Amino acid sequence: MGSFKPLLKYNGETFCSQVIRKLKPVCTSIKIVTGHNSDLLISELRNHNILNEKTECVYNPDYAFGMFTSLQTGMKHLTDSDWIIVHMVDQPDLPEKFYFELVNNFEDRHDWVQPEYNSRKGHPVAIRSNLFGKILSAPKESSLRSLFSEGERKMMLWKCSYHQVLSDIDTPEDYKSITMLPE
């Protein structure tokens, strides 16, 4: 990307603050997992009064190993949660109503809820607590894709109407594509 994604701007807010603001109404606790440029991100969030008892940063010392270690780090701080929403920072364009619809799909018969748009799986995903143990005990080189076979989780693919679940802002062109569209 060439820039620090959490602090890129979208509709006047940083990616990170945009995601946090939209998660707050549906989450009892929000953990922002930091790694690269941790101090810079924490400083920015403090300057904008985003951190509080509900929203806090946790540092992932193994961030260089990849996203799976960040999931494990955040999950270690959410062990009393029934469900967690695994959200990447590069989806600031999801509308607020998406999150309410996502949590309305949490049911005891599922332990994984993943949005799907036009037959393509998207993000963020929601994971129920019965899967936490396997994720937390896995080697840091693991991935969610490799950790669970199809029969090991009770996945619900939620056919949603939000194309943004397929967003992945990795290049300046990707960034330009979302900043040129209305929210």
DSSP bridge partners of 32: 57
State the residue for tokens 């899967």.
131
What pLDDT is stored for residue 183 in this prediction? 45
Q: For residues 80 and 89, what is the distance between their CA atoms, to the nearest angstrom?
A: 23
Residue spans of the domains in the chain: they are 5-179
User: Which H helix or E strand runs over 165?
Assistant: none
**CATH topology for the 5-179 domain:** Spore Coat Polysaccharide Biosynthesis Protein SpsA; Chain A (3.90.550)
Q: For residues 118 and 112, what is the distance between their CA atoms, to the nearest angstrom?
A: 19
What pLDDT is stored for residue 145 in this prediction? 82
* pLDDT tens sequence across 20-48: 999 999 999 999 999 999 999 999 999 98
Q: For residues 152 and 80, what is the distance between their CA atoms, to the nearest angstrom?
A: 22
What pLDDT is stored for residue 168 in this prediction? 86
What pLDDT is stored for residue 93 in this prediction? 92
Q: Which residues of the chain, if any, have pLDDT below 50?
A: 183
Beta strand extents in 18-159 (DSSP E only): 30-34, 55-59, 83-86, 112-117, 120-121, 125-128, 155-159
Sequence-separated (6 or more) residues with CB below 8 Å from residue 160 = 98, 101, 115, 116, 117, 122
Task: Please tell me the pTM assigned to this model.
Answer: 0.90
- Tell me the CA end-to-end span of the chain in Å, nearest whole number: 21
